[in-house]
Chains A and B, each alone.
Chain A
Amino acid sequence: MILQIFSTFLKIGFLGFGGGYAMLSLIFEEASKFGMTVSQFADLNALDVLIPGPIAINSATYVGQIYGGFWGALASTFAVSMPSLIFVLAFMQYEGRINNNGYLKAALTSVKAASVGLIFAVALSIMLSTTFDMANLFDWQNHRFDFLSLAILIAAFVLHMRCNINPIALTLLAGIIGWLCYFI
């Protein structure tokens, strides 16, 4: 298991262009092979907001911890960190040749575009799971609409984008509202 976690996060690291959020879609897909649910993944995103540090490290630690305990977390964090060490050492050797390479820039621009689509898809999966209780898009017959979670989703989006309210505050506030609503 530990070895599997290590190789999975090594793969995620080397394919993870464009930073933590772009990596999330990879993590979402790979972690579901370990049995991670959409809810657990949504909770991971919430913890990413609440806990300081790079998102990729946070996410790797979380998945590793859940499926392999202490050693799992250590393996996943170490694995996801490997590309940085390798590329920095390699770059210092061949400085200049990689810099200003048109092909590399073109590839990165496309990967960035791809990440937009991938992140949107992940966001929609979480939305389907929380507000409609659907496992995936083809599960429409079994949907169960949850008004509260849709209201919170929209409110959080608007308050974050329009009013620039801190995501940490919004996450905690949502938790309190959800907690209170149970008693209504």
Chain B
Amino acid sequence: MKKNLILLKVYLLAGAFTFSGGMAMLPVIERELCEKRSLIDKESLYEYAALSQTFPGVIALTNACFVGKKINGAGGMFFAGAGAILPAYILMSIATLLYQLLPQQGPMLSALVAVRATSAAFLFAVAYTIAKYNLKAKVNIIIALICFIFTLLNLIGAPVLILLSALAGVLIYTGKDKK
């Protein structure tokens, strides 16, 4: 039981203070669970972090579930997972409620338009960063371009494009395997 409470506390803490994405949680988790309490070793933590990225879903949550399950079985998984989700869920619920109260006119609208411009900028930045590290092979550049154009022209939905890309990856791999 004590382990469950530690997991809940550590993940609540990590979830409440890490911004823009779940992987930023890792250093906090490492410090609390590996160094301070030695509940799991660093290798396992980072192995699970890498593994989590191969599954669909919320990566930070998958990672929390792995770590929780490893440390204290199904109970640990539940508490670590709850800790990883709750701060985001509660804070975002409140933020959305407040957002809905904002008047969409006058100076507030002007402020929102400026904020929306930064949101486009950050998405461009994210796409650029992912591209820089992942678009090395020619075929991947083609996949990215196809997805970009088809989405922009509204020809094929994102779910279908994702599944087709995965299929293309498997087919290419199979082709290489035979050679």
Give the contacts of A7-43 with B (CB-CB under 8 A): 11, 13-21, 24-26, 28-29, 39, 42-43
Contact present for A118 and B159 (CB under 8 Å):
no
User: B132 to chain A: closest CB distance in Å?
Assistant: 10
Main secondary structure of the interface of B (DSSP, over half): helix
Residue of B nearest to A18 (CB): B53
Pick the residue among B18, B122, B151, B167 that contacts A53 (CB under 8 A): B18
- Per-position contact with A for B120-151: 1 when CB-CB < 8 Å, else 0? 11111111101100110001110111111101
Give the chain A neighbours of B66 by CB distance below 8 A. Answer: 88, 91
Residue of A nearest to B171 (CB): A106
Give the chain A neighbours of B117 by CB distance below 8 A. Answer: 127, 130-131, 148-150, 152-153, 156, 174
Main secondary structure of the interface of A (DSSP, over half): helix
Give the contacts of A51-67 with B (CB-CB under 8 A): 51-58, 61-62, 65-66
For chain A, the bracket of interface size reads 35 or more
B positions within 8 Å CB-CB of A:
15-23, 51, 53-62, 64-66, 69, 74, 77, 81, 84-85, 87-89, 91-93, 95-97, 99-100, 106-128, 130-131, 134-135, 139-141, 143-149, 151-154, 157-159, 161-163, 165-170, 172-174, 177
